[in-house]
Amino acid sequence: MKYKTVLLLVTIGMLASCGASMEDQYRTALVTVEKNLASLAKGINTGTIRNATILKQYSRILKRQRPELAPLLTELEADATTSGPVYKGLQERLAGAGPQARDLTLTEKMKELESLNTAVQPAVYNDALSDPVNVMADLSEGKLARVNAINKAAELQANKAKDYGAGSQLMGNHHYGHWSYGMGAAYWMWYPRYSYFGAMYGRNRYYYGDWAGNRGYSYYHDVGRNNYTSARQRSTQRAVEQRARKNYRSDKPFRSAYSKSRSGASGISKASTTRAKSAFRSPYASKSSSKYQSSTRNSRFRTSRGARRGK
């Protein structure tokens, strides 16, 4: 799929050099992304996406070990299929960049298609599924290994992050919930099918200002956000951050959730890390923190790769 991404860009470049209209370039890009999304669906359905397979395996194991989690695990397991929120999100974005869509300019549609064409690569999609896999790993209390990330204790230490409990990798990810407002502050609300996360921790509210400055690593936030978030969703995220900054009241300065990438990635594909260098950054980010933090910086930490390694 990396070849297909390069081919798309080369084809668009050739069309541009030949004087092809932007409409022609757009139609070519649209057809390419449609084909690549269909190819990804085939890979998911035939079991060639490694983390999708692991997600199903972890779900089966945990349902035996912790039957009370079965409804939540079933919802998380959906991401191993084309019915899950991650894949369906790609479908919705592709429809939103289609010829009938009127809320994006042609230039904006082209940018969206470029982002989507990276997201539908099997290697990149496999990386994206590491978040729900690692949530299950954390629910196992260390009995199941994290994938594409260092172990939980090392990750929290490396980032000086707070432990928001199992499911923290999915907080702030629009596929699983949204930021709501109460008493002038934004707090995280899980979609009903994931509400068990809140129930596990006494339905405590996690406020944006606290989470932004103390969150740990997740693939979505630190590597793949540009590829798995639409332009409109990124605009909403900026608005939430700006409002939180304005209303933030603490003896400590407000820290943007995206002023720097958190450490913690391990074994992420080159397709993900290359794209991450141009990912959306907070307007409050400093130039010194704009580069993607390579997982090689975390080589001193033990990674979790097997299906049954502890903390």
The reported pLDDT for the residue numbered 202 is 60
One-character DSSP codes across the chain: -HHHHHHHHHHHHHHHHTT--HHHHHHHHHHHHHHHHHHHHHHHHTT--HHHHHHHHHHHHHHHH-GGGHHHHHHHHGGGSTTSHHHHHHHHHHHHTSTT--SS-HHHHHHHHHHHHHHTSHHHHHHHTHHHHHHHHHHTTTSS--SSBB-HHHHHHHHT-----TTGGGTT-TTTEEEEEETTEEEEEE-GGGTHHHHHTTT---BHHHHHHH----HIIIIITTTTS-HHHHHHHHHHHHHHHHH--SSS----TTSSPPS-B-S--HHHHHHHTTS---TT--GGG-S---GGGGTTSPB--STT---
Parent domain of 185: 129-311
208, part of any domain:
yes
Establish if 229 belongs to a structural domain. Answer: yes
**End-to-end alpha carbon distance in the chain:** 34
Q: Record the tokens describing residue 277, joined without a space.
A: 């260098």
Lowest mean pLDDT among 27-36, 40-49, 218-227, 269-278: 269-278
Mean pLDDT of 269-281: 66
Q: Would 160 be classed as within a structural domain? A: yes
Tally the domains of the chain. Answer: 1
pLDDT higher than 90, residue 303:
no
Burial track 146-174 (b if 16+ CB lie within 10 A, e otherwise): bbbbbbbebbbebbebeebebbbbbbbbb
Residue 3 located in a structural domain: no
Res. 170 pLDDT band, cuts 50 70 90: very high
CA distance 132 to 55: 7
Query: Which whole number is the average pLDDT over 26-52?
Result: 97
Mean pLDDT within 274-285: 45
Q: Residue 166 falls within a domain, yes or no? A: yes
Q: What is the Cα–Cα distance from 171 to 189, expressed in whole angstroms?
A: 9
pLDDT computed for residue 154 by the predictor: 97
Closest C-alpha to 115, from 239, 283, 227: 227
User: Which carries the bigger pLDDT value, residue 288 or residue 129?
Assistant: 129
The tens digit of pLDDT for each residue in 177-229 reads 999 998 778 999 999 999 999 887 665 788 999 999 999 999 999 999 999 99
Specify the amino acid at residue 275. R
Residue 168: predicted pLDDT? 94
Tell me, letter by letter, the H, E, C secondary structure of 268-310.
CCHHHHHHHCCCCCCCCCCHHHCCCCCHHHHCCCCECCCCCCC
Specify if 26 maps to a domain: no
Hey, which residues does 179 pair with through a beta bridge?
A: 188
